[in-house]
Amino acid sequence: MTRDFAANPAWQEQDLGLPLPDSPHACSVCLPTWDSIIGYEEGRDKILKRMRVGYPRFFKHPTVERLFDNAKAEVAGENEEVIVLPTRASVQRAHRWVERRAETAVRITSYHGLQVLIVPAKAKDDATAYWRFSGEVVSSRQAQDFLDGVPREGSKSHLIVRALTKFTGSTPENTLIFSSGMAAVTAVLRALPGMQKGKKTLQLEFPYVDCLKVQELFGHGVVYLNEATGESFDEALKRIRQGEFAGVFTELPGNPLLRTVDLARVAKACAEGGTPLIVDDSATGPFNVDALRFADVVTGSLTKWISGEGDVMAGMAAVREDSPMAATLRESLTTDAAESAPLYIGDAEVLLSNLKGYAKRMKTVNTNGLELALWLANHPAVAQVWHPSLTQKENYDAVRRTNGGYGGLLSFVLKTPKKTPKVYDALRLSKGPSFGTPFTLVCPYTILAHYRELEWAEGCGVPAALLRVSCGMEPIEILTAVFEEALTQG
């Protein structure tokens, strides 16, 4: 399939599971119809059997699946299942968590240098949950090298750190690289001093689904404030000042509603209460926002805008150097980055190559995101658009870099929601989860992320018929033409 947008401008018909870009390690999957989305969520065989790849923590890459199968055949017994983890520290942590959660004995074994957690069949779902939510995974490149008998040692994370600090404003010693964005979030949660005291965490604004799940599963409970405004926000700030929470988590901006909390007020309350503030900037990235001005720790998925190719998974945590908790947080995160979820050297090399185009990509993506958001906001078929340029703009601008923009991620709903499936089917664009690819990507976010809790999501202000768009690098006139065609048909 061509990736020359001028020669073949976004008018692509994709089959289920077509990985984009052309890489055996692509993280993207195309679910081109509303029915295929529902089929995926409901686990229909006719959909799942046609999928060749999927989002790595949710849908194991075929190479990773083969690694699991080989390990199971070699080390597991009858009615036993396995998950393969990258390090001794990660498998030991998984062992303790799965045993507590499943209330059954599990065991660990080494598998030619990798680590395997062996569980009874009844604990398979819990073991899979640890893999998905902790983010401490074996990548497809690592699995391929292992299966080929040429596993590689060493690390190039220090080179990624050097490249990233140009954008984050952090220092090399305060920047840690992980195998995934969720591994970074999980490591930060573990690093919080209040976790040792059994304190809950606080989540401000509607987050990416797994960021909330990590706090629920690996913490001591989470207090969730869906909309950080008004009296409820004032009460939350009071509780923060009283030192009630182990940490305060928020996103800059949130996903998919692209809302931005008043970070200055939150940071002030956190400082008074001695409470770490953790901000995730994945939705727009460090090129656009300076979250470290306010946060004690900034986390980010390097899989998305920073890689920009959809062919490698990685994450980052940056500690603010003058944070009162800097030494404690840095020590714990440094250990976890090295011992629990290190980025495989083969993945690091790909990310280093992709990083070279980050700034240039973001300038194009920012322009496309801004223009498409405004175009959709003025379209007669569209009821509402969420984008940092339109949604709580003042709060976003307070942390936007001087030369930064509003990012390429936006969401919208139609005035007639029942037409959404027809519009989605008519969009001649790549369709599926994730964001940050060089091609525009569309998905019915709420259906994909919250299919079994749609009523709860609706109650949080996230419509079931919401479509999320990750703008790519196509000419804007092509994007608007594609959307006009689909909206007209709807």
Amino acid 432: pLDDT: 83
Assigned CATH topology for domain 62-134: Endonuclease I-creI (3.10.28)
Torsions phi, psi for 248 (to 5 deg) = -115, 125
Cα–Cα distances in angstroms (integers) from residue 89 to residues 104, 110, 220, 323, 343, in the given order:
20, 12, 21, 27, 14
Delimit the CATH 3.10.28 region(s) of the chain.
62-134
Angle at 326 between CA 322 and CA 327, to 5 degrees: 125
Q: Report d(CA 103, CA 123) in Å as an integer.
A: 9
Amino acid 205: pLDDT: 95
In terms of C-beta density within 10 A (0-12 exposed, 13-18 middle, 19 or more buried), how is residue 22 classed?
Answer: exposed
Amino acid 46: pLDDT: 67
Decide: 179 and 139 in contact? Cβ < 8 Å.
yes
Cα–Cα distances in angstroms (integers) from residue 100 to residues 93, 110, 369, in the given order:
11, 22, 45
Amino acid 20: pLDDT: 43
Does the global pTM surpass 0.85? Answer: yes
CATH architecture, domain 157-355? 3-Layer(aba) Sandwich (3.40)
Question: Omega of the bond prior to 21 within 30 degrees of 0, cis?
Answer: yes
Amino acid 288: pLDDT: 98
Delimit the CATH 3.90.1150.10 region(s) of the chain.
357-489
Strands 277-280 and 248-251: parallel
Please count the CA atoms within 13 angstroms of the CA of 310 that sit on its side-chain side.
27
pLDDT per residue rounded down to tens, the chain (490 residues): 222 223 233 333 333 333 344 455 445 567 888 788 887 776 777 666 665 655 666 667 889 999 999 999 999 999 999 999 999 999 999 999 999 999 999 999 999 889 999 999 999 999 999 999 999 999 999 999 999 999 999 999 999 999 999 999 999 999 999 999 999 999 999 999 999 999 999 999 999 888 999 999 999 999 999 999 999 999 999 999 999 999 999 999 999 999 999 999 999 999 999 999 999 999 999 999 999 999 999 999 999 999 999 899 999 999 999 999 999 999 999 999 999 999 999 999 999 999 999 999 999 999 999 999 999 999 999 999 999 999 999 999 999 999 999 999 999 999 999 999 999 999 999 988 889 999 999 999 998 888 788 898 899 999 999 999 999 999 999 999 999 999 998 6
Amino acid 390: pLDDT: 97
Q: Report d(CA 140, CA 63) in Å as an integer.
A: 6
Amino acid 61: pLDDT: 81
Assigned token pair, 335? 């250990």
Between helices 88-102 and 124-134, what is the axis angle to 10°?
Answer: 130
Amino acid 53: pLDDT: 58
Decide: 260 and 392 in contact? Cβ < 8 Å.
yes
Q: Report d(CA 278, CA 477) in Å as an integer.
A: 38
Delimit the CATH 3.40.640.10 region(s) of the chain.
157-355
The domain defined by 357-489 carries CATH number 3.90.1150.10: yes
Decide: 294 and 276 in contact? Cβ < 8 Å.
no
